[in-house]
Chain A
Amino acid sequence: EAGVVQSPRYKIIEKKQPVAFWCNPISGHNTLYWYLQNLGQGPELLIRYENEEAVDDSQLPKDRFSAERLKGVDSTLKIQPAELGDSAVYLCASSPQGQSSTDTQYFGPGTRLTVL
């Protein structure tokens, strides 16, 4: 079974440029998460989707970050414009249901963003 797929794996951009990350969750997983992981820190939740619906986006900086999950499968996370402080690893995870806290979250390899 394929795991969570993310692309690109690495991205280098200049500040003020837009950037987008793509995630394909494990087949059949209804819940999708985007996490931000700064260097030397644990992942922090940005947004959680149940199917197409964003059920928890309280930690998403909505002035520059946006996300979508069309058709309840793939998801895209966008930053516009990027700032120097956005340099980090962006992780996508999925779980079968998500409403239950006993659901295991499976993580992708992440996209490492560097903003110059």
Chain B
Amino acid sequence: QKEVEQDPGPLSVPEGAIVSLNCTYSNSAFQYFMWYRQYSRKGPELLMYTYSSGNKEDGRFTAQVDKSSKYISLFIRDSQPSDSATYLCAMSGSRGSTLGRLYFGRGTQLTVWP
């Protein structure tokens, strides 16, 4: 079992839909949670960053972390065709093998059609 699990999709939604992406993890040492967006033939770029449990909102994007359930989510409101990409969750911690190292999910491929 991988330390970070993510449904690869693919996920296809119409423009304007609310998109929900999520990951589960097994290592309780993870404290920092990130969502990266990766366009085809490009490197991942940081989209959202959250420390510990709670919510964080940035424009149309909301990241949620529930450490008790080891579950993180990314919501995209009013989705646009330009949001079509692969979304990768990533996490790290502050001790041992989790320090300074990102553990990625396998990514969810999202297509938003006009």
Contact = CB atoms under 8 A, between A and B. Distances in A.
B104 A43 contact: yes
A103 B51 CA distance: 12
Contact of A41 (B45, B92, B107): B107
Contacts of A58: 97
Contact of A107 (B31, B45, B94, B101): B45
A79 interface: no
Interface stretch (B14-22, B36-44, B57-65, B70-78): B36-44
Interface residues of A, number: 28
B74 to A, nearest CB: 14
A46 to B, nearest CB: 11
B58 to A, nearest CB: 14
Given A56-B100, A98-B100, A105 B88 contact: no
Nearest to B93: A101
A104 interface: yes
Contacts of B53: none
A4 B43 contact: yes
Contacts of B41: 109, 112
Interface string B5-49: 010100000000000000000000001100000000111111001
B51 to A, nearest CB: 7
Contact of A101 (B32, B88, B104, B106): B32
A4 B46 CA distance: 14
Interface of B: 4, 6, 8, 31-32, 41-46, 49, 51, 88, 90, 92-94, 97-102, 104-107
Given A42-B90, A106-B45, 7 more contacts: A31-B100, A40-B8, A41-B107, A45-B101, A56-B100, A99-B99, A104-B49
15 contacts: A4-B43, A40-B8, A43-B44, A44-B104, A48-B100, A56-B101, A99-B99, A101-B32, A101-B92, A101-B100, A105-B102, A106-B45, A106-B46, A107-B44, A112-B41
